[in-house]
């Protein structure tokens, strides 16, 4: 069936040098739940009653470092800044193509919900 399937050559975006996908996508070394635990609900967002999801694009280099984080959709109140701060200090397992580490951009979402 798919035994002879070959992955197409990944295309690198000409503007940033990061792949849109890899055979093995990057993931946080300690897992996503550990990243979520590090995120603090910003006091301004809490006081304003802001809830929702923050969607970001994380640019992970071939060493597993987050070079940049771009907000795709936010909710305000400092939530985006908190996600960016935490992701930039998070170590990732790098994305892999043909057993080699590669630069990959990956999308992530974080839910902010008041209890």
Per-residue pLDDT at 1: 38
Mean predicted lDDT score pLDDT of the chain: 90
Residues 6+ apart with CB under 8 A from 115: none
CA 7 to chain centre: 23
Per-residue pLDDT at 81: 98
What DSSP string describes 26-80? -EETT-HHHHHHHPPPPHHHHHHT--EEEEEEEEE-TTS-EEEEEEEE--STTHH
Q: What percent of the chain has pLDDT over 70?
A: 87
Per-residue pLDDT at 48: 96
- CA dist 70 and 95 (Å) reads 18
Record the pTM: 0.85
**Domains of the chain in sequence order:** 27-112 (3.30.2420.10)
3-state SS track over 69-110: EEEEECCCCCHHHHHHHHHHCCCEECEEECCEEECEEEEEEE
Q: Quick one: pLDDT band at residue 115, thresholds 50, 70, 90?
A: confident
Within a 10 A sphere around the Cβ of 94, how many other Cβ atoms? Answer: 21
Mean pLDDT of 70-76: 97
Per-residue pLDDT at 16: 76
pLDDT tens-digit series, residues 13-66: 445 799 999 999 999 999 999 999 999 999 999 999 999 999 999 999 999 999
Per-residue pLDDT at 47: 97
């Amino acid at each position: 069936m798919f035994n002879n399937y070959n992955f197409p050559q990944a295309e690198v975006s000409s503007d940033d040098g990061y792949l849109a996908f890899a055979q093995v996508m990057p993931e946080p070394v300690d897992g996503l739940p550990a990243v979520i635990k590090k995120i603090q609900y910003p006091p301004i967002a809490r006081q304003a009653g802001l809830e929702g999801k923050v969607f970001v694009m994380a640019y992970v280099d071939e060493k597993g470092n987050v070079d940049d984080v771009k907000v795709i959709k936010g909710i305000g109140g400092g939530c985006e800044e908190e996600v960016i701060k935490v992701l930039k200090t998070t170590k990732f397992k790098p994305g892999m193509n043909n057993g080699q580490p590669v630069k990959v951009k990956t999308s992530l979402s974080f839910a902010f919900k008041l209890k």
